[in-house]
Amino acid sequence: MARFIKDRSKSKGLAPGSLVFIGRQKMNKPELFVMDYNQNSLEEKQIHSLTEIEDYIHKDGVTWLNINGIHDLELIRELGDMFNITSLLLESVLNTDQRPKFESFDNHDAFILKMIHYDETIKQVVAEQFSLILGKRYVITLQERQGDVFKGVRERIRNKKGRVRLSDNDYLMYALLDAIADNYAIAIETVGRKIDELDGRIFKYNEKGLTEEIYTLKTELNYLRKSVRPVKDVVNSYLKAESPFFMEKNIVYLKDLNDSITHSAESIELYNNLVSDQLNIYNTNMSNSLNQVMKVLTIFASIFIPLTFLAGIYGMNFEYIPELKYKYAYLIFWILVLVIGIGLIIYFRRKKWL
C-alpha cells in the first residue's frame, strides 16, 4: 500500500512553483528522443541536449519530443524556458503525486496523467507520471522511465500506418492518449482476470490466502480508481475547452477517448462490486462451514456425553449398587445405550442436522 503515499517533505514550505521532484527516481540519466515528420519525410534521433531540438521546432511538420526520466531538475527548467512553461506546471510535472489534470495556456495545452501497467513480478498495478504538452506543431511527452506503451504509435509513424503521418500534432496527441487509455483497459482487465480466478475458490473449504488476495485486489482497485477516475474529468474539460491547438474535425476522436475512459472507470466500479460480493459470499460460506463444524461437535458430544455418564455410574465403587449384581444388567445397559443413542440421532435428524 506504500505506493499510495509519496514523500512530500521535500516540498514543504517551498514557494509554489519551486521545482522539486517528488517520487522515486527510476532511471539514471534522462533520455530525449525526437521524432519529426510530415506526410513525406521522417527523422528520428536520440538527442543529448535540448538545444538540438530547436531546428526541428522551427521546421514545418510535427515534432514529438519524448523525455524518459523526469528527475533532472536542470533539464526540466531548461525545457520550461524554451517552451514558455510556467513553473507551476513544471512543479506538477515533477510531482508524481499530482492528481490527473488538464490546463490550458496561451501557447500550449498541458495534460498530467498516469500511465498504468500491471507488474507481474511484484503482482501490483504500477502507476507512473505522464505529462503531455501540446503546442503549435509540437508535442512534448514526459515519462518517469522508458516503457513500451508508445511502441505502437512509433511503428505507425515509421510505417505510415493509420492517419498519424497524414495528420497534425493534435492527432498525434490523441494517438498517444489513446495508447494510454488502452493500457488502462489492459491493466483493469488483468485485475479483472484475477477476480475471475477467485470465482470458484470462494466456495471451496479452507482456501489458503484467499482473504489476502481479496484484500490485494480491493487495494489494486482503489489504486486504479485513484488514477483513472479523475481522467474522465480531464477529457471532459478538454472537450469543453475548445482549445486552439486541437482541430474541431478531430473532436470525434476525443469523444472516442472519452468513451474508452468512461468504460474503464465503470469497469473499476464493476470489479469493485464483484470483489465485494465475493467477500460477502465467502463470509457467508465461512459461517456455513462453522455451522457444519459445530453440528458435528454437538452431535458427537451430545450423544456420547450422557452415555459416558451412564458408564461412569456403573463404574462406581459403592458397596450397595443393586443393579451390579443383576445378571442381565450388562445387556440392559447396552440396550439403554442403544435407545439413548438412537433417540438422540432421531432428535438430530428432526432438527435436520443429520
One of 24, 249, 273, 335 touching a second copy (CB under 8 A): 273
The grid coordinates listed for 41 are 519525410
Q: Looking at beta carbons only, is 28 or 312 nearer to a second copy?
A: 312
State which of positions 80-99 bind a second copy (CB under 8 A): 86, 88, 92, 97-99
Q: Binding mask 23-62 vs a second copy (x if CB under 8 A, - otherwise)? A: ----------------------------------------
Closest CA to 20 of 97, 73, 68, 76: 73
Position 119 contacts a second copy (CB under 8 A): no
One of 41, 51, 107, 302 touching a second copy (CB under 8 A): 302
Position 9 contacts a second copy (CB under 8 A): yes
One of 266, 335, 336, 343 touching a second copy (CB under 8 A): 266
State which of positions 242-261 bind a second copy (CB under 8 A): 252-253, 255-256, 259
Edge to edge, the sheet with strand 138-143 lists 42-47, 31-37, 62-68, 138-143, 124-134, 109-119, 101-104
Position 76 contacts a second copy (CB under 8 A): no
**In the bound complex, what is the minimum distance in angstroms from residue 345's beta carbon to a second copy?**
14
Q: Name the segment binding a second copy (CB under 8 A); options: 29-37, 66-74, 203-211, 239-247.
A: 203-211
Residues in contact with a second copy, counted by CB under 8 A, come to a total of 124
Cα-based torsion angle of the residue sequence 126, 128, 134, 135 in order, rounded to the nearest 10 degrees: -170
